[in-house]
Amino acid sequence: MKYFGTDGVRGVANLNLTCELALRIGRAASSFFNGDLIVSKDPRLSSDMIEAALVSGILSKGNNAYLTGIIPTPALSLLLSNNGKKGGAMISASHNPVEDNGIKFFDEKGFKLREEDEEKIEEFMEKEIKLPIGKGGKIIYFNEAKIFYIKSVIEKNNINLNGLKIALDLAYGATTTVAPEIFSNLNSSLTLFNEKPDGEKINVGCGSTNPEFLSNEVRKNGFNLGFSFDGDGDRVIAFDENGEIVDGDEIMFILAKYLKIPSIVITVMSNFGLKILLNKYGIKYYEVPVGDRNVLYKMVETNSFLGGEQSGHIIFLPQSKTGDGIITALLLLRVLIRENKSLSEIKKEFIKYPQILRNIKVKDKNKVMKDEIFFKEVSLWNDKLSGRGRIFVRPSGTENLIRIMVEGEEEKEVKEIAFSLENLLKKRLAQNFLGDEEEGSQ
C-alpha cells in the first residue's frame, strides 16, 4: 500500500505525515466509514496539528467527530466496542520517536482495520470525493471517554493490591491520563515516573522501549515490582523486585499457565524458551508474522483468548480487542496475589535462549531485503546453527529499520553471528550508497 503500513499511517510530522495528507486521510476515512467517528490522540507535540487536519477531513464529508482528547489506544478500542459509532481514529506513533506521528483506524467493534479495509481508504484518497455543499459535520467533545475506560478496567479487574509498592513508568504518554487513578483505586502504594507529558519527551529515555530506566529505579528504591508502558499504552514491560526485566514472552507464559488458557498466539520473534514451556504444559500455540494485527485475527480465527509479542504488546480478548498494557499488568498482578508469590519466583522456570536483536537504519527496506550477498551469508549462518538456533531478518513495519534477530543455545556464538551480520549489512549499505556496482549495488 502507498500510505498504510503494518500499524496505520506513520511518518515524521510535517515531513512524511503532513496536515494536507491527514486531511485527505480524514476525508477518505469518513467516506469509507460513512458515519460518525471517535478521534483520540497521544500527547506528542504534533498530535493537535494532525488531529485538526484529520477532523477537518471527517467534517468535510458531513460526518461528526467525537474528540476524546488524550487517552490510550486501548481506551479508544473499548469505547468503540460499547458506543455504536461507525469507527475510530487514534493519532499516535506508539513507541516511535517523538518527532514521528501516525493515524490508525478501528472498526465499530473496536478491532483494528484489516488490510483490505485500509486499501479501500487509500482508494478513496486517490479519487475525487463528493462533498455536501454549504454544510459539514460537527465537533463533539467526548469528555466522559476517560472516565468510561477507567471504570470499565477497574470493574473487570477488581483486585486488592494490598499496598504493593508499584512503580509505573508512563513514558510521558497517553497512560498518564488513566493509569494513576486505576492503580490507586486498587489499593496500591504507587510511585509514578515520567507522568507529566509536555509533548517533547514521549518515549525519550523511558518507557517500554527503554526499560533500563525503570529497572534501575526498581532496584534502587525497593519496589515490589514495576511496569513500563509505551507512548499510546498498548505495550507493557514488567520488572520484578530485583529490577529484572520480564518481557512479553514471559508475561504470556505466566498468564497462560496460571489463568489456565488452553491456546495462545505468538509471533516468529518469540523466544524458543516460550515454546518449550508451552509444550511442557500442553498449551497449544499458533505462530504468526510480527504485528499485533496478525496476532489479533489469528486469535479470533482459533478462538484463543491470549496472544501477543515479545515487545509487551499483549491482547486478552475477554477484556480488550487490542493490546492493553494496563490490563496486562493487572492480569499479572492478579496471578501474583492469588499465588502469593513474587514475580521473580513465578517467572524463574522460564529459561530464555540467548537472543540478540540488532536494528540497522536504512533508506530503502525493500532494497535491503533483496540483497543476495547479505542473505547468502544469513543462509550460511543458519546452516551452521543447524537446529540449535535461528536467524530471522525482517523490515520494521513502522520505521526505516532492518531488524536482525539471532537466537541460539550459546550466548558467545549468538553475539558473534549478530556482530558479523550487522557489520556485513552496514558494509553493504555503504557500498550501495557509494554506487559500487561490482559489489552488487541494486
Residue 236 Cα to chain centre, angstroms: 9
> What's the CA dihedral at 249, 295, 172, 237 to 10 degrees?
-10
| CB 247 within 8 Å of CB 240 | no
> What interhelical angle do 73-83 and 145-156 show, nearest 10?
90
Class of residue 307 by CB neighbours under 10 A (exposed 0-12, middle 13-18, buried 19+): buried
- 94 carries an active-site annotation: yes
Q: Which of 60, 81, 94, 311 is catalytic?
A: 94
| CB 316 within 8 Å of CB 331 | yes
Strands (E), 131-232: 139-141, 165-169, 189-193, 225-229
Contacts 24+ apart (CB under 8 A), 12-18: 12/99, 12/100, 12/101, 13/45, 13/46, 13/49, 13/50, 13/99, 13/100, 13/101, 14/46, 14/49, 17/46, 17/50, 17/100, 17/101, 17/102, 17/103
Which sequence positions are flagged as catalytic? 94
